[in-house]
Amino acid sequence: MKKYHLFLFFFALVTGLVSCSSDDDSGSGDGTARVAVKLTDAPGDYEHVYVEVEDVMIKTTAEGSEEEGWTSLEGVNTGVIDLLSLTGGVTELLVDTELQAGYLHQIRLVLGDNNTIVVKNGEQEQEFALKTPSAQQSGLKVMVNQELEANATYTFILDFDVDKSVKSTTTDGYNLHPVIRMAVEENSGSIVGSVHPTTEQVLITVQNASVNASAYTDVNGNFQVHGLPAGTYKVTATPAAGIGLNVAVVNNVSVAQGATVTLEDLFLDGE
């Protein structure tokens, strides 16, 4: 009888230890991270490019097929956005929400059918439907591969490259083949500055061997280029052709992670 009671005691002790271990393991993934997704624009030579945002989805695992495991984020700001209004460093907040801490594999931007483009033909503006090929209709997938830590904040910047995304066709107008560069704001830096004179929009390009980012100046000649990985860049300010101004170049601009680099004013001397 004593042996039986001793057995029960050890059985209860071992069971309790296993239970505590399981409880500890189940809590290892507890906590949430704050996640925001913003849209910005690498410019194109059009008057307006309107895209309809229907959803922002995430996939938290690399396992399964490409179409499995997608979840819509809560609180997405849906609607039509003029990509060419996102100049001078302006961004459009698509969603700001809490996610379970853990691995984030991909983000998917889902566009609707209400996409149009406005081009200038002489003095007249013409609007055309911006058609999305069937292969893109399920949404554009952007690789993330980011571990989200509890109580941390992550801002994902989707840089929509209009010039590469819009394709003119000879038969039915324009097609939209979205090309997006993704950066994590907290893991990248920015370059800001001003261009003079400010009478015309100026194209700002920021380049090195692996990055090609761009933006237009705003009405005050200011610009901001976000989401730049740490590195050294060449900054080029290119005015519109035929207005008598030269290109300005700044070489060897060093950007550190999380830093904002402010350039001295760029002066576009006359030709």
Q: What is the mean pLDDT of the chain?
A: 82
pLDDT in tens, 208-249: 998 888 888 888 888 888 889 999 999 999 998 888 888 999
> Whole-model pTM above 0.75?
no
Q: Give the percent of the chain with pLDDT over 90.
A: 33
Contacts of 162 (CB under 8 A, 6+ apart): 41, 42, 43, 44, 46, 49, 83, 84
- If you average pLDDT over residues 115-127, what whole number do you get? 86
Contacts of 185 (CB under 8 A, 6+ apart): 38, 154, 155, 156, 157, 226, 227
20 inside domain: no
Residues 37 and 154 in one domain: yes
| Confidence (pLDDT) at 136 | 55
Residues 128 and 246 in one domain: no
| Confidence (pLDDT) at 232 | 97
pLDDT in tens, 19-63: 443 344 433 357 999 999 998 876 777 888 999 999 999 999 888
12 inside domain: no
| Confidence (pLDDT) at 22 | 39
Residues 262 and 131 in one domain: no
| Confidence (pLDDT) at 172 | 66
Residues 176 and 199 in one domain: no
Last residue of a domain, which of 135, 165, 187?
Answer: 187
DSSP string computed for 202-215: EEEEEE-SS-EEEE
How remote is the C-alpha of 83 from its chain's centroid? 13
Q: Which residue has the tokens 């809560």?
A: 74
Residues 156 and 204 in one domain: no
Contacts of 58 (CB under 8 A, 6+ apart): 70, 71, 73, 99, 104, 105, 106, 107, 108
Domain residues for 271?
Answer: 189-271
Residues 182 and 208 in one domain: no
**For residue 137, what are its two tokens?**
């209709």
Task: Say whether pLDDT at 164 is over 70.
Answer: yes
**CA dihedral for 180, 181, 185, 191, sign (positive or negative):** negative
